[in-house]
Every structure is written in structure tokens, then in C-alpha cells.
């Protein structure tokens, strides 16, 4: 099980939610309490937006807790919109091109979950990618292929619809190969302004997904961190698993739901794959 985190709000040092000794993504990955795998040391990725249109990426196949460069970056880089992902491979190689988030132009994409029976339908799904995008696929994961399918199906114009069609295509293709309940996903995608998150699986329960509640509960989570004191009211943290057990901090996103975050406002909509 991968783990991920997305932040949208006033600019903050990346380490705040990534590296705090308690209640951070990397602390969590070391403990790996809730996932199916016993550890999550199969690659790390970070994507952040700054003054440029195209986000920056940092990927590493050294475990995040050992990666000095990551600690340096996280302490020095600030961003108002960033995604971080810790990978637990379900089979594909441990290499930078398989690390999330994936980037295309100004878009980022990251995923927790899998396509069951992926090897059996990989070719058919690959053929469904827009020929003009085909050569841009760099890695070998199901997650990156889902991104390129969504891009081929209109992600940049209508993200929710494109993800619904991508999910529909995966389920339809798998069905043709006799694969039941193929899709499991909690995913996030963003164009640098708006953030879309999705929780869905062909067969429930889906991989978990949580929103932070009010920014004051976040601040209470890190009482010793002065950086959080100045965070705007609109700050939002969305995580695949809660960073703490504290009550009141996290709202679980329901099954089969899409969340849209813009300027700190989050809307939830039902999510349904379609063809």
C-alpha cells in the first residue's frame, strides 16, 4: 500500500507534514501501521508548485527516511500546493520513472491502489493511450498508465469526467479478460490551481482517503510548530491515511467519491465510472 499526502494552502515548508518526528508522512511510512505491506521503502516522490507554471519534481529510490537530499529540500522549499508519495511496489521495478507523482506539462498525478491482473490487460490499455502521448510514458506502472489514459480521455478539460471514463475503461477492459473487481484507487491530480481527489474501487472497501478538518485542528496537531501558526484558514491537507489518531482532525471521504479543492473550499461529489 502506498501512502500519499496533498497540501493546498498558504505556502509552507515542505518538511512540516513530511518529516516531523511525529505525525508526518515519512514517520508514518516507517511505522506503516495500517497498510497491507510491512514497509514502504520502494521509492519516494514529491511534486511542488512555485512561481513557474510547471511543477518541480523530486524522486528517489533510497528510502525517504534515509534521503539526505530530501531532508535538505524539505527544510528549504516552501510551496502552497504540493503532493508527496511513498511507494510500496506491487511488482513493477523500483526506479525513478515509477515514482509518483507523475507529471505532464503543468499536471501532477499520484495513486494508491492497483489494477488487478494488470499484466494481462496492460497491452490493451496501452493501446488506448492517445498516440501523441504514447512516447511520453516513461515508467512501467499501472498508476502512470492510468494518468495517460485520463489525459487521453480529456483530463485537462474535464478532470472528473476523464477519471470516470478512465475507471470505466479499466473495468470494461478487465471484464473482457475475466478479471473481476480490477480497480482500487485513492488518487490525486492537480493543474497547479485546483486539486481533485478520488476514492473508488470496483469492490469495496476502497483505499482510504481523509481530509483535514478546520485548520485549527491541524495547528493543534503540531502545537510546537510555529510555521503552522501562520497558515491561512484555507489550508487543506488530504491524506491516504490519517497522520495521527487524534479525534476531530480527519474526515474520511466516503466510498466512491470525488473531492474538488479550490481556494480552501472542498466539494464532494459521487464518483461513478462510465464508458
Dihedral-angle region of residue 19 (phi above 0 means left; psi in -120 to 50 means alpha; beta otherwise): alpha
* 39 lies in the binding site for a copy of itself (CB under 8 A): yes
- Closest approach of Cβ 123 to a copy of itself, in Å? 4
- Does position 30 interact with a copy of itself (CB under 8 A)? The reply is yes
| Residue 207 CB partners (closer than 8 Å, separation 6+) | 1, 112, 113, 184, 185, 186, 199, 201, 240
- What track of x and - describes contact with a copy of itself for positions 185 through 224 (by CB under 8 A)? ----------------------------------------
Asked if residue 50 binds a copy of itself (CB under 8 A), the reply is yes
Examine residue 38 and tell whether it contacts a copy of itself (CB under 8 A).
yes
- Measure the CA angle with vertex 104, ends 103 and 107; round to 5°: 75
Angle among Cα 180, 254, 125 to the nearest 5 degrees reads 35
Of 22, 53, 76, 214, the residue at the interface with a copy of itself (CB under 8 A) is 76
Torsion angle of C-alpha atoms 110, 114, 119, 125, degrees rounded to 10? -60
Q: Say whether residue 94 binds a copy of itself (CB under 8 A).
A: yes
Q: Which stretch binds a copy of itself (CB under 8 A): 73-81, 176-184, 236-244, 257-265?
A: 73-81
Quick one: which of 21, 131, 226, 247 contacts a copy of itself (CB under 8 A)? 131
Nearest residue (CB) to a copy of itself, 64 versus 266: 64
Helices H, strands E: what count in the chain?
9, 13
Residues 6+ apart with CB under 8 A from 63: 41, 44
Alpha carbon distances (Å) from 171 to 54, 70, 87, 167: 32, 37, 24, 6
Total residues contacting a copy of itself (rule CB under 8 A)? Answer: 46
> Which of 80, 106, 120, 262 forms a contact with a copy of itself (CB under 8 A)?
120
Binding residues for a copy of itself, per CB under 8 A? Answer: 30-32, 38-39, 41-42, 50, 52, 56-63, 65-66, 68-69, 72-73, 75-77, 89, 93-97, 118-120, 122-123, 126-127, 131, 134-135, 137-140
Amino acid at each position: 500500500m502506498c501512502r500519499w499526502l496533498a497540501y493546498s494552502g498558504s505556502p509552507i515548508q515542505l518538511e512540516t507534514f513530511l518529516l516531523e518526528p511525529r505525525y508526518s508522512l515519512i514517520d508514518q511510512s516507517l511505522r506503516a501501521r495500517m497498510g497491507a505491506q510491512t514497509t514502504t521503502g520502494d521509492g519516494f516522490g514529491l511534486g511542488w508548485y512555485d512561481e513557474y507554471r510547471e511543477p518541480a519534481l523530486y524522486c528517489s529510490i533510497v528510502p525517504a527516511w534515509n534521503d539526505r537530499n530530501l531532508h535538505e529540500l524539505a527544510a528549504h522549499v516552501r510551496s502552497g500546493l504540493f503532493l508527496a508519495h511513498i511507494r510500496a511496489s506491487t511488482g513493477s521495478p523500483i526506479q525513478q520513472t515509477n515514482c509518483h507523482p507523475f507529471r505532464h506539462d503543468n499536471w501532477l498525478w499520484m495513486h494508491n491502489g492497483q489494477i488487478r491482473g494488470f499484466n494481462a490487460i496492460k497491452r490493451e490499455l496501452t493501446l488506448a493511450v492517445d498516440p501523441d502521448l504514447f512516447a511520453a510514458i516513461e515508467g512501467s506502472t499501472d498508476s502512470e498508465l492510468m494518468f495517460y489514459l485520463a489525459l487521453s480521455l480529456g483530463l485537462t478539460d474535464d478532470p472528473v469526467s476523464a477519471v470516470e471514463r478512465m475507471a470505466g475503461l479499466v473495468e470494461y477492459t478487465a471484464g473482457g479478460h475475466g478479471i473481476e473487481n480490477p480497480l482500487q484507487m485513492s488518487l490525486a491530480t492537480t493543474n497547479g490551481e485546483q486539486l481533485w481527489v478520488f476514492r473508488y474501487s470496483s469492490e469495496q472497501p476502497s483505499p482510504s482517503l481523509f481530509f483535514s478538518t478546520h485548520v485549527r485542528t491541524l495547528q493543534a496537531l503540531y502545537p510546537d510548530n510555529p510555521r503552522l501558526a501562520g497558515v491561512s484558514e484555507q489550508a487543506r491537507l488530504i491524506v491516504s491515511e490519517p497522520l495521527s489518531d487524534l479525534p476531530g482532525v480527519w474526515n474520511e471521504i466516503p466510498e466512491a467519491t470525488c473531492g474538488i479543492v479550490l481556494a480552501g473550499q472542498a466539494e464532494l461529489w459521487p464518483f461513478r465510472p462510465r464508458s
